[in-house]
Amino acid sequence: MFKMAAILQGIAKRVLDGTAASQHAEAAGAGAFNMAKLAWAQIDPSVNLDDLD
């Protein structure tokens, strides 16, 4: 999950830089935070997942 979060973060950065290759890149990059939070919740059960989009 952490690897996927890192990939999504890279996509989000490419969207900001204007170098994204896909028209779906913005939507994919927007999921980086939620993926990272889900991954961290696997390690730390005190993480509140109620506020995910």
pLDDT in the model for residue 9: 96
Q: Which residue has the higher pLDDT, 51 or 18?
A: 18
What one-letter code names the amino acid at 15?
Answer: V
For residue 2, pLDDT beyond 90: yes
pLDDT in the model for residue 51: 82
The per-residue pLDDT for range 33-47, each reduced to its tens digit, is 999 999 999 999 999
Domain layout of the chain by residue ranges:
2-43
SS (H, E, C) 1-51: CHHHHHHHHHHHHHHHHCCCCCCCHHHHHCCHHHHHHHHHHHHCCCCCCCC
Q: What percent of the chain stands above pLDDT 90?
A: 92
pLDDT in the model for residue 4: 96
